[in-house]
Structure 1
Amino acid sequence: MPISALVWGENVHEQTSRVVAGLYPLGMHGTIAAALNQDKDIKAGTVVLQDPEHGLTEERLAKTDVLVWWGHAAHGKVEDAIVERVQKRVWEGMGLIVLHSGHFSKIFKRLMGTPCSLKWREAGERERIWVVNRNHPIAKGLGECIELPNEEMYGEPFTVPEPMETVFVSWFEGGEVFRSGLTYQRGAGRIFYFRPGHETYPTYHHPDVHTVLRNAVHWAHNPMPAWTAVTDAPNVPISAAREPLVEKGPKLHKDGEEGLR
């Protein structure tokens, strides 16, 4: 079975900016999904902010192996209940790929537990994305760097937790550097943050960016069944202990009683 990928798009700039609409007539989400679908082992669909429940219904998420997230202008319009729903699916094993300005999305900040802030400048600078982890699966098929003629600058410090792995580091024409490809794991779900992708530049038409996105979907895919009990905290009575056990001392809870949350 192919990997079920779902590209979530904010779909705001495509409706309000002629520049963005001209660059991405399919929408940014549609362009990203088309790039993923070039891989026969990936089947990608799209949903947008304006869909009922932002397109992220319980049923749709249950069928999604990897969620790809692009947002910028409307982070605050994403309902908190939907964010919690996505977070739970990541804990259960759904992969999550967060792109560019999605660093300020509710879901990324919630999973990171940090401000996720950074420096930025919108000047169409040249970006050189250095592959610093050459043997990582997300870097498969790339040369030593990716050259983007025009991009928005992101600069350190990037206030995220220390990643499991740093795959890419970017240099910008103005001199700043940025950790632009970072991996994390939360519960059973793998997370990849990938920096490039400002909406006024054709970044998501670049073949090397396509390669990274497809590689990232494969890396983030967890083929194991969903860990649906990830939020459970069962009270295990003495009678169910794996070894004979004698109760010693007082306790607050009766056997089988729910814990305090």
Structure 2
Amino acid sequence: MSGRDQRGIRATVWNEYVHETRGDEVVVANYPDGIHAVVADGLREHLGPDADVRTATLREPSHGLTDEVLADTDVLFWWGHIAHEEVSDEVVERVVAHVHAGMGLVVLHSGHYSKVFKRLMGTTCSLKWRNDGERELVWTTAPQHPIAEGIPHPIVIPRQEMYGEFFDIPRPDEEVFLSTFDGGEVFRSGVAYHRGRGKVFYFSPGDQEYPVYHHPDIRRVLANAARWAAATEPRRELTADQHPRDWFLS
């Protein structure tokens, strides 16, 4: 039996929590208790009473992401936008090490520019953008993928920031969603990777100026992503070990 067979998913939702605390009226209207609170509520709604969903923010000591917190996290959600450079390199390396050892990571919207995601991708993660409040259609390109389970084709988001290609990321292990916008752009909006023993999913819908994380289909995607990415085995660091000859025969 793995640890997950005996308990619910342990998820930590991290948000820089800067737009909300500096009083951006539109953001506060959409997320009065913070984006992290709404994402966490959606996970609790879909993952059930056995799930343990906590939150952490930038201004907490160690950004709320100590070794103890990460060791007790099956999947970490990451939302950032205007404070990427305020995240300490020490915490970045800590998160990356836990992903390599088996922790799942779900990166949201502008988190594509976070130090954590760029470190794991090894690219600039740059893209095209325009914030005119256009309609976004999120098309499923891998209907057999667990993250797409129960998701309509397409998800309709009435107003959202446009993200467009070229998106400078490595070739995904799996491309789950592709978005189109009224301006004609397309964007690889849901992509999955394996890094070390961990799974990483990037999902783009979720600009702070729109109530996207209240959208029932988006909440289902995030819960599916939590189930897919969550660690199912004990955390184990990958190391370069010296092996004697014929060690596998003993």
TM-score (ref. length: structure 1): 0.89
1:37 to 44, 62, 70: 44
Matched, 1:22 2:26: no
Cα distance, 1:35 vs. partner? 0.5
Aligned residues between the structures: 238
SS at match of 1:15: coil
Q: Please point out which of 214, 224, 246 is paired with 1:242.
A: 246
> Quick check: 2:76–2:103 contact (8 Å CA) kept in 1?
yes
Identity %: 53
Shift, 1:42, TM fit: 2.7
Q: Which residue of 1 aligns with 2:9?
A: 3
Q: Does 1:169 align with 2:201?
A: no
Matches within 5 A, 1:83-122: 83-122=92-131
Letter in 2 for 1:33: A
In structure 1, the gaps of 5 or more residues are: 244-261
1:38-187 maps to which residues of 2 (within 5 A)?
A: 38=45, 39-40=47-48, 41-187=50-196
Write the distance in 2 (CA, Å) between the matches of 1:167 and 1:235. 39
> Does the CA-based 8 Å contact 1:9-1:29 persist in structure 2?
yes
Q: Using CA pairs below 8 Å that are at least 6 residues apart, which structure has the higher relative contact order?
A: 2
Following TM superposition, by how much is the alpha carbon of 1:132 offset from its aligned partner in structure 2, in angstroms?
Answer: 1.2
Q: Select the structure of larger CA radius of gyration.
A: 1
Cα deviation, residue 241, structure 1: 2.1
Identify unmatched segments of 5+ residues in structure 2.
1-6
Instruction: Name the SS of the counterpart of 2:70 in structure 1.
Output: helix
| Shift, 1:114, TM fit | 0.4
State the Cα distance separating 1:59 from its structure 2 match.
0.6
Q: Distance in 2 between matches of 1:143 and 1:104?
A: 28
Counterpart residue type for residue 199 of structure 1? Q
Q: Hey, which bits of structure 1, 4+ residues long, moved more than 4 A?
A: none
What is the rounded CA distance, in whole Å, between the counterparts of 2:198 and 2:240 in structure 1? 19
Root-mean-square deviation (CA, aligned residues, Å) is 1.0
For residues 167 and 82 of structure 1, the distance between their equivalents in structure 2, rounded to whole angstroms, comes to: 29
Q: Do the aligned partners of 2:152 and 2:217 also contact (CA within 8 Å) in 1? A: no
